[in-house]
Structures are given as structure tokens and as C-alpha cells.
Amino acid sequence: MVDTTERSHFLKLAAVFEGGLIFVALALGLLVRIDPFADFQVDRAALLLGSAAALPPFLLLALTDRFRFSALERIKRLVLQVLGPALVACRWYELVFVAALAGFGEELVFRGVLQRCFERWLDFGGSGHIAGLIASNVIFGLLHAMTPTYAILAAMMGIYFGVLLDMTHPSNLLVPILAHALYDFLAFLLLRREVRKRAPAFPAAS
């Protein structure tokens, strides 16, 4: 029987925390005078690039999962322990909702505001873009520090998303938002499959 309490708790937490990041981005933007949506626009090229950009990190995740590196196995066990039951209990479209919220909220804060803010504050001799990319993602990594290795991997993922923002001309925040959200959704599915593999008696939601 699917644990509806587990699912409900997980979805509420996601809505409050990840959805709340949108308001954090707006508040930070007002504080440092940066519009979080300044680089956001919907167009076909951004939709295609953002979708394609989710695949390299996901394929890397799938590859590391296949070869089972010890440091990453420890992270996986922790993630499965914390999120596994909820991921199994959620329906696929609920996972889409959580992934979309995470991609939108986190990218709005870290790429839409903090990266641009640090680029402006740390612009010494034309190095603002690199400094902003690194500084914002050190914070991104630290806020994902379930383990030291996880913090480093999260910071590297953040740098990847930041590069996606800067490589588009003009910069388009939709690209890292979509890449982040789609990556999270695919990672959720991979983790849910792992839970089912380790505990076959654990039923998945339809």
C-alpha cells in the first residue's frame, strides 16, 4: 500500500521550501537591485538547449550509478534513506511538479540573483563573470552539504548551470531552469527505480 502520508508530507515540504525560493529571489533582488527575471525569456532555442543540457549530467549520474563508486554510494544510501519512500509514493506528475519547482526556484535565486550580484561586486579587472560563477556556487554547494562530497558535486552542477546561463546570447535563465528541472526529474526516476530494486515489495504509485 502506498504511504499517502509520506507523499503528502514530501509534496508540502517541496512546495514550501522550493516554492518559497521564488519569494527569496524576489526579496534578494529588491535588496541588491537585480531583477531575477531580467534574463528570463521563453523561446524555442532555449527550450531545446535546456532540454538537451539536462542529458550530460544525467548520463554521468547513470554511469556513476552503474560503476558504484564508494563515495557516491554513501551519498546514494543517504538520499534513498531520506527521499526513497516519498519518491516511491509519488505519482510521476507529482515528481514533475517537485522537479519544476526546484529548477525554477533554485535557478532564480542562484543564477538569476546571486551569480549576477557577485559578478557586479567581484568585478576586479574584468574577472566578474568567473568570480560570480564561483562565489554563487560555493554557496550553492554549501547549502546542499548532506556530505562533503555531495557539496562539491552540487557546486560543480551549479557551475554547469551557471555556464549554461552565460553561454546563451543574450543570456536566458530558462536554459538552466529547464536543464535543472529535467535533470532532477530524471534523477528522481532513477532513485525511485533503485528503491524498487532494493525493496521489490515496496509498491510504486501509479
Residue 30 pLDDT level (bands cut at 50, 70, 90): very high
In the predicted model, is pLDDT for residue 202 greater than 80? no
Contacts of 157 (CB under 8 A, 6+ apart): 57, 183
The mean pLDDT of the chain is 90
Helix axes 148-167, 128-142, angle to 10 degrees: 140
In the predicted model, is pLDDT for residue 201 greater than 80? no
Residue 205 pLDDT level (bands cut at 50, 70, 90): low
Whether residue 150 contacts residue 82, with contact meaning beta carbons closer than 8 Å, is answered with: no
Whether residue 204 contacts residue 6, with contact meaning beta carbons closer than 8 Å, is answered with: no
State what percent of residues in the chain have pLDDT above 90.
67
pLDDT of residue 200: 57
**Of 69-73, 149-153, 183-187, the least confident:** 69-73
In the predicted model, is pLDDT for residue 70 greater than 80? no
125-165 pLDDT tens trace: 777 889 999 999 999 999 988 888 899 999 999 999 999 99
Average pLDDT over residues 101-115: 97
